[in-house]
Chains A and B, each alone.
Chain A
């Protein structure tokens, strides 16, 4: 018997559309409509329309009507971060299962709304992540095998070797501050607009979900307390908007597990490919060092463009595995690999780290 297909509505597609594309490519999910609120600005409507045109599906400027009219079972939320949770709550209240892009939210209180709505409506929620990259699957397998004993410390490095507008330069004459949203809209062209929204977001909010989800998967532990250092080290947009592009976080977790996170948008010159992304796990019987980039191949040739990464990741089917996991959760009434409560816990850890960076003291994770 063929497994049933799920029809999904894309609720806002303003960022690079990797999440919607991945869902549409999976055989269990069909895109049927793009929807957003009518009062959104023109640029939002334009991007929504572009995606709808690309998939030859309608764009409806009314979320509730689209959900009602198109017989959808799933919502895929890919709006600006500050609207993520509201769209997810509305979808859950309409009885839809929800796949949501990261970050879960700018505010922990918004995450709490999602947790409540998802559980009250008994629908599935998946926060998009990278936990099914081949190296992460391998790391999980090694940890679960018991070969390194009980993990007691986990360290994640998550550097994106990308630029983000003009470099920070304290010696330049003072210019008008860079508008965050306008900068993110520009970044759409090269797909580095993960921080799109009105509210400025530092690297912890934009990308922190990924390494923190790795650590959570490998330890099964919640973070209880953090101490963090944060700074705007590279980019003028981060200086102007008082957010960090470089951070280190000490993590104190359940079961006495310790850890750290190094994260930064370190500039294109600082790595030969997308960035250094590694996980170090210390266990009672051994240790594990994993490069998230593996497997990769290297291609070098005369006349190679500086914009082309000479090291290319291969065999990455994370974008297939996540929808696969989501479908399984719906089929079996099981849990997703990163549900609303886990997403909320990560959002709270990020917020505590930002607070710690500002106060210079350790902060308990609420």
Chain B
């Protein structure tokens, strides 16, 4: 199909426009349009997954991308800066393809989970659709400017979705979310400008043409002795500008990921956000941070990635252990899952820092599997919250005897999240550990103790999940308020519809991880090869 990626991006925007013209009392129609738009997105996303060609081995980033589309957008001469060139340039490789498909899936589930919404339906779905388009745009953009525009453009809908439809402390949570992520994105902006001034080519007439193209940045077509060119003479406080740029990007993206110590916005945002938005936040938005680390932070600054592998791995390790320990202390189930997300995103950092094929593939696999699992976990919390408007672990016990189907899903996803073999969470984690512990003997960028300490995270997560199961689901059936008793009915058809696909996928990818690892294998190998080779080259300059 022609222009597959553009359709993926723009269908929700078009739908948002259509919804804008529908009178606000026709809420059913609005929901149907939103569902239709996201369903088409899902179909296109699946098409992308199955049509993606995983067999070609790229040797340059410019060969790695498929489904590419390139349209000039802003082109003009700007004084001595040369030509300003921004393109509408999109494409996917093995890193972004799974994330796009994952987003498309979770976006549909999000609409289904918002089906019962009654307040301000029109505004909600307009913002939701804008968010959908921007999310996909973020994953497929190959022009830094375009990426940044989509990246920023996600913040505003998210701010209002949390701030208007959220829980009691929604305004605090939404502002905190906005300030944190905006701060991060401005750090990215600074580096983006620096990279723009440093990347490009000289045409035949001797004119300098700068570019925002991420592909050229990854392939290293830097202009000689510019700010962020490898081996340039610019030094700030004793380190090269590239070093500082990497750190700015790292902070920018791990705010989004999030990792300790920049994670504090996440529990607040999760607790206050409506269920569907929590699902998207955990399932997709966090992955934008991880994706940014892969695509921008690591692929463009391989030299610094090698140099700083150890600190990055340690941040990952701390996130895994600390996030898990904080999760254990929570009374609110949603907060517990939010902190478990911090812990699980630590694996992404750890696997990436290892810079081995296993570690990096594991890191990406973990992102996808965490998308399924955490999405489902937030839906599960939503089930309880819908019925009781309470999320305290102490408020309920013995649910297993009352809500059997529900408990089945809870047990399945809790076990998936704590890494039970046979479910997808296990695959990602084991690959990350193989990478992190094995790195010392393969490329020596990180010592193996970091991986070993991180294994503690598995025990901790088993601890808090099993403990929660015991307190809420086993034992004698009891509810804190007698009035809840009548509402404690088992899953509805709509809830089944949301949980079953996620459960199947968790199982499927757990048993046959090669379904995902196969198509991305070549990209992952190339990614690692690129970083090790080019990184060494840059370091020797």
Do chains A and B stick together as partners? no
